Homo-oligomer: A and B are copies of this chain.
């Protein structure tokens, strides 16, 4: 039984957060340095990175990271790619608003492909407005 003379405890408050109410939480991935050493980059210094929706299992897109944007992705908990066409760092969603919040990050048996399971914000991953970039099947004519 608690002492009736002790101060009434304050109602529990939510954990401090820099995230605006209603937005999706960011969770940095504490990467193991030996795991990071397993990544092998191609001749252009890039590694293929698959992004999968952790809720639906849908494969959303594939893009490329270099060592710098992989580090940024893990530290920031959001996917950050290297744009080969623009030759610049491309933090997914900064322009479109459709950010990808990383929940799990893994690398394959030979270290040359990464897999990020994310919470996808907004309209989806594809610049066409489709939720997944893989919205066209080989057994159909492409939409004109």
The interface of chain A, by Cβ under 8 A from chain B, is 29-32, 34-36, 38, 48, 50, 52, 56-59, 61-62, 74, 104-110, 113, 115, 126-128, 130, 133-142
Chain B residues within 8 Å of A59, by CB: 50, 52, 59, 115
Chain B residues within 8 Å of A126, by CB: 109
Number of this chain's copies in the assembly equals 2
Q: A104-B137, A105-B138, A136-B106 are in contact. Are A113 and B62 (CB under 8 A)?
A: yes
Cβ-neighbour of A74 out of B31, B57, B130, B138 (below 8 A): B138
A66 to B70, CA, bound (A): 28
A34 to B137, CA, bound (A): 11
Q: 9 closest A-B pairs (Cβ-Cβ)? A: A57-B57, A108-B133, A62-B113, A115-B134, A31-B138, A106-B134, A105-B138, A109-B133, A106-B137
- Extra contacts, 12 of them, besides A32-B142, A62-B108 (Cβ < 8 A), are A29-B138, A29-B139, A31-B138, A35-B137, A36-B138, A38-B136, A38-B142, A59-B59, A105-B137, A106-B136, A107-B138, A115-B134
Q: List 11 A-B contacts (CB under 8 A).
A: A31-B139, A35-B137, A35-B139, A38-B142, A52-B59, A105-B138, A106-B136, A107-B134, A108-B133, A108-B136, A113-B133
